[in-house]
Structure 1
Amino acid sequence: MNQAIIFTDREAWDPIRHAVICTALVNGWQVHCSIQGEAIKARFGVAEQPEQFIDLFRLHRWDLEDEFEQMILNEEFDSDGWVVI
């Protein structure tokens, strides 16, 4: 685990992005991360309601945070500066 990257425990459903969003602190700077609802369903099972997507995110938090961390280290940001799975 990279101590320069710390994930908060505040995730939420973003109805515009149709994704679960979370925040990482990278050397004191906020980086917004998201995983699309379709990616959650493809990887972890059926979800239709926001609460179900968030529950699946929480069940697989450690793996997702590892993936987000690697993407941050590789500077894989979208045009808005987000890390998106």
Structure 2
Amino acid sequence: MNQSILFPDLQDWDPQTQTVVFPVQVQGANIECRISLNKLTQLSSATFEQDSDELEASALAVFDEYRFDIEEEVEMLIEQDTFDEQGRIALI
């Protein structure tokens, strides 16, 4: 693991975009990362209920379960400078 890339144990659900939002620190700079519900489904083969409270809890639980895999993919994208137009890393 790259020591200049750190993943704080923080994540939140964005109901408008249906993504889990989490930060990464790269050489002291904070970068926003997002992973879509679709990508979480691909990783876990989980099915998500569309009820907003259950959806948030389920998405965050899957994110937590697959966190290591997600962080590895984000780290690879950072090293490849694969940022979106807002300077974020997005796993869609």
| Most deviating of 15-24 and 42-51 | 42-51
TM-score (normalised: structure 2): 0.88
Q: How many residues align?
A: 85
User: Which of 73, 76, 80 is residue 67 of structure 1 equivalent to?
Assistant: 73
Please tell me whether the aligned partners of residues 22 and 34 of structure 2 are also in contact (alpha carbons under 8 angstroms).
yes
Aligned residue runs from structure 1 range 2-81, under 5 A: 2-44=2-44, 45-48=46-49, 49-81=55-87
Letter in 2 for 1:18: Q
Structure 1 unaligned runs (5+)?
none
Between Structure 1 and Structure 2, whose CA radius of gyration is higher?
2
TM-score (normalised: structure 1): 0.95
Determine the structure 2 residue equivalent to 1:82: 88
Residue aligned with 2:35, SS: strand
Structure 2 unaligned runs (5+)?
50-54
Give the CA RMSD over aligned residues: 0.8
Letter in 2 for 1:26: V
Residue aligned with 1:42, SS: helix
Please tell me whether the aligned partners of residues 6 and 24 of structure 2 are also in contact (alpha carbons under 8 angstroms).
yes
Task: Please give the alpha-carbon distance, in whole angstroms, between the structure 2 residues aligned to 1:59 and 1:26.
Answer: 23
Please tell me whether the aligned partners of residues 8 and 23 of structure 2 are also in contact (alpha carbons under 8 angstroms).
yes
